[in-house]
A and B are shown apart, each in its own frame.
Chain A
Amino acid sequence: MQPQTATGPAGPVSGKAGPGKFQDKSRSRLSGVGDFIGAQGLLVVVLLFGVLLTFLSPVFLTTVNLVNLLFQCTILGVFAIGMTFVILTGGIDVSVGSTAALSSVLSMGVIVNMNMPPAIGLLTGLVVGAGVGAVNGLMVTKLGISPLIATLATLSAGSGIAFAYSDGGNITPVPKMLTEMVSAKVAGIPLLIPAVLVLAFLAHLALTRTTYGRSIYAVGGNKEAALLAGIRVDRVTMNAYIIAGLSAGMAGLLLTGRLASGSPRAGDGIELTVIAAVVIGGTSLFGGQGNIKGTLLGVLLIAMVSNAVNLLGIPSSYDRIVQGVVIFAAAALDVYRYKYVQKNLSRKRKIGPPPATDPKTAGTTATGTATAHTGTPA
């Protein structure tokens, strides 16, 4: 029987099952539900939520409310754009709220207490933000402290410095230039809205069209592989924290303008909302996956939740409960999406239809041999 078994597989029919056959397109295509969640899911959720609110409140779909809604998005958006960079590297920055407070207090300190021109003050705010980011980055890359702990430390220290410097009070008066910048309107639309959109677009270009953006995805997707491919992982990570700090500093200045004071409470507790917005927007906490478009939608959804609570006359304490539920849903979605993508994109490939029962095929020959064998016990 040996020769039969040995020569069987060489039959011409068996050549059909070449590896090329497996390259079915459906392998890389996600199925319905996953597609929905993966690609346009959030947009659909935002729109459905909008339709629901239109029915629940007559005020929702008014120009005034919509402009107001977008205006509410702007500062959160600035925070979230920076945060997206950090989360894409697989890190996290919980210090952005206190960085904003520090930027707010110190910039006003420079202007009010030291009598510097406003421009120097604003620059100080940005430098403070970038500086805190650099400290975070150094702790994470050079000392190897986990991002959560490192930024928790700066959260605490930064907030402490802000309170210490301002003696817990507000620093006023804010220069007119800043308050006017925040509230400037053209044709009834706050200028801040298009400004943040431009910022988002720049961030989008940086992530998709530059070597730096590509490196961020590589570092977040597989740090070890990125390192071996010659990417300067530490530098890339460091810069992500600086970008997050810078955007927090910028947001701190905007908050100062809006609150009309340099306040150590500016941005207090906003870090969780920011992280929630980014994650709801589809940026994976595992790193390497996500984009700015998603982040903007995440910010919009969070702002809509607040808006809804407002419009429907729900006590404001419920706002945070609703937000908690939304964060939970987003995090669960993230895990689900991760597993789903893993399952569908990993080694599993589509298997062709069972080979025809041609007597010449390898399988039939060998099975036949085996049956013959087991049929005649020794």
Chain B
Amino acid sequence: MAEEAIKISGKKKSMFIDKVKQLLPDGGNLNLCLTCGACSSGCPATGLEGMDPRKFLRMAALGMDEELLKSEWAWMCTMCQRCIYVCPMKIDIPQLVFNVRGSRPRDERPKGILGSCNMALKHDTCSAMGASEEDFKFVVEDVAEEVRNTQVGWEELQAPVNKQGAMYFLNQNSREPVTEPDEMVPLWKILHLAGADWTYGTKGWAAENYCMFMADTESWKHIVEVKAKAVDDLGCKYWLNTE
């Protein structure tokens, strides 16, 4: 709980909450809060920075924009949406959080997220760890070759790259090709046994999208478009998540 009572200044300010309402279908129900606290009681971020979801929403409703934008709490809420799930009025607090994130000047957002987003914008791979098209293809082919040579019964194991017309375009979190490539092998074995018609693509293969977490909507959109185009260009039917 808060240590001090919230003080409301007399003058009504710009009201950040009104801007967000305009962006959301049905205003994100942001003015329907019954203050029941179901959101806060089941939120793992409750208490961090002396904040909780209900308080965050109430502060927005009271026009305390400056305090919301100054708090780090918007970066401690993971936008997991459990608060919406339990809310009797289905209030979209995570969207409010997302827009608070996006209201901070871009270069002042958390360095790690910013760096990962910027890195993903450098290559058409969309890799937040900066893996290039060549790096990815090399690692996949190298690891597959080693399995074929050393594991009995896996002489025919394939990890196709840029296979035109495959049913599934499999994405891959950068963590595997960059730091622990052997973790990809169980996945390939499963796909092999299932007889799945799948492929990786040198473009758009990276599963992660930090630009979304950073609330940089233009960059987020760019990344999604690059990935969608990669799937379409190979004529694949499904974008398949490994998770």
Q: Do A and B come from one complex?
A: no
A residues apposed to B, CB below 8 Å: none
